[in-house]
Amino acid sequence: MLTIGQCRLEARVVDITTLAVDAIVNAANTSLLGGGGVDGAIHRAAGCDLLHECETLGGCATGDAKITAGYKLPAKHVIHAVGPVWGGGQRGESELLASCYRRSLELAQDEHCSSIAFPAISCGVYRFPAQQAVQIAVGTVIETLPQAASINHVIFACFDDAMFRLYESELADRQAPPSKPA
């Protein structure tokens, strides 16, 4: 766990669809019309009204995000972020992934959310290297928090222990060392 100002950042091994936070982030695709992985799990748990709202949104560009209600989910909102497909690292993948985290926090702030949970966007079907993605996720959230003052709790929801350990290690690395006594 890491505390930055008023905000607590933590990693958890958890199914993101079970979290009663203000917003969960979905790792969506540009159609916003559902898919496999975490996207499929979110649509199944939210019910078909989520798909109906997504159908009105006109899709979403890679690196951007759009927000809907949470319907049958315990979360109030779903922020649908579209991560990049990994293509070797020379196609702007890192910047596009960072943009997903920035845009998600901006939308959460616009809705006055205080808690948000992210999956490891692009780390499944889209094959982004996990360690690099985790550095981008944690780094971008920390950089963006000053512009997202409503947020006081960020959860990195991990589907397995290996991903959890990467987040734990990244959060520990970013913890400022305790100041030495004078």
List residues with catalytic annotation. Answer: 39
Residues 6+ apart with CB under 8 A from 9: 1, 2, 3, 138, 141, 142, 154, 156, 171
Element (H, E) at 28: strand 23-28
Binding mask 80-109 for ligand AR6 (x = CB under 6 A): ---x--------------------------
Nearer to ligand AR6, 129 or 146 (CB): 129
Q: Binding to ligand AR6 by residue 63, rule CB under 6 A?
A: no
Q: Which of 9, 11, 105, 121 binds ligand AR6 (CB under 6 A)?
A: 121
Q: Which of 120, 141, 154, 171 binds ligand AR6 (CB under 6 A)?
A: 120
Q: Which of 5, 6, 20, 36 binds ligand AR6 (CB under 6 A)?
A: 36
Question: How far apart (Å, rounded) are the C-alpha atoms in residues 170 and 139?
Answer: 9
Q: Which of 4, 41, 51, 57 binds ligand AR6 (CB under 6 A)?
A: 41
From the number of C-beta atoms within 10 Å of its C-beta (0-12, 13-18, 19+), residue 31 rates as middle
Shortest reach from residue 87's CB to ligand AR6, in Å: 13
Unique residue bearing structure tokens 């996207």? 39
Nearer to ligand AR6, 87 or 146 (CB): 87
The footprint of ligand AR6 (CB under 6 A) covers 15-17, 27-29, 35-39, 41, 83, 119-126, 157, 159, 163
